[in-house]
Amino acid sequence: MSTGPGPQPASPGEPAGRLAGKVAVVLGASSGIGRAAALRFACEGATVIAAARRFPELEALGRECGAIPVPCDITRDDQVEALARVALDRFGTLDVALNCAGFEQSTPIRDLTPERLYNMASVQFLGAVSFIRHMANAMAATGGGSLITISSITALLVGEGLAAYGGSKAAINHITRIAALEYGPQGVRVNVVSPGLIETPMTAHMFIPPVVRAFTRETPLRRMGTVDDVVEAVLWLASDASSFITGHNLPVDGGQLTRRLPGRDDFLASS
C-alpha cells in the first residue's frame, strides 16, 4: 500500500495547520466533498487515510497530497472495521473521521420498492451507523476525537421524491445525537454537517439554469453553495476550535432552512 510523499510540513516561522499531528480517516474520498476534505485536511497538517470503493481515484489522491489509499465499501461492516484498524495499527490513534459516502436518488413513494429503499438505507443509514460505531470505538480507545457525517437539509425539509434519501439522512441525524451522548464521556465528539444543494459529481445533473434559479430564489443569501463552503464547516468541526461542540447538526445552506425546497413547479416557472 503506497503512502505517497506525505503533506509537506510547515516551514520554520509558519503557523502549524489546524489539524497538525492528527490522524484523519475520510470515507467517500474519491470525489466531491470527500476528496476536497481529504486535500484540505492534508494541507492543514493531518495524516489522511482516504477510503472509497474506487481505488484508482484514491491512488491519484495519494499522489497529490500524500493520503494513504484504502479500499472500503461502507455497506461491508468488516471493511469499515478494517478501515479503523488501519489508523490504529499504523499510527496508534484516530483523531478525525469523516463520512461522505452516499448517493442521490429521487423516487416517489409510489415507486419506492423494498429493494430501492434498502439500497439507499444500506449506504446512508446502516453503513453510516457502522462507520460511527467502528470509528467512535477506535477514538474512545485512544483518548477521543471528532467524528463527522455529511447529512443533508433534505432531512429537515420535505421534497418530492426524497422519502428514502431524506429519511435515511434524518435517521442518521438522530443516531448522531445518541452517539454524542454515549461516547461523550470518552472524549468523542459526534456531529453532522447538512449541506444544501452543492455542485458535486453526484449532483451535477441538477445544475441546469431552471433548478439553479429556483434554489437561489429560495436561499436567503441568494447564491448556491460550494464544496469549499462545506469543507470549511467540516474543518472547523474536525479541529480543536470546536472542542466543546457535540451532538450538533451544522447546516451549510445559505439559510435555506428558513424557507423551503423548490419543486417541479418551481423549476418549470424558472424555465
Active-site residue list: 165
Q: Is the distance from CB of 269 to CB of 166 less than 8 angstroms?
A: no
> Could you tell me the CA-to-CA distances from 64 to 8, 39, 67, 172 in Å, in that order?
11, 8, 8, 32
Phi, psi of 101 (to 5 degrees): -65, 140
Which residue has cell 492543514? 44
Q: H or E segment at 6?
A: none
Among 209, 196, 24, 20, CA closest to 99: 24
DSSP category for residue 13: T
The CA-based angle 32-86-178, given to 5 degrees, is 70
Among 87, 66, 40, 39, CA closest to 236: 40
Cα–Cα distance measured from residue 49 to residue 58, given in angstroms and rounded to the nearest whole number: 10
Q: Which residues pair with 27 in a beta bridge?
A: 51, 99
Tell me the one-letter amino acid at 55: F
C-alpha cell belonging to residue 95: 483523531
Phi, psi of 96 (to 5 degrees): -140, 135
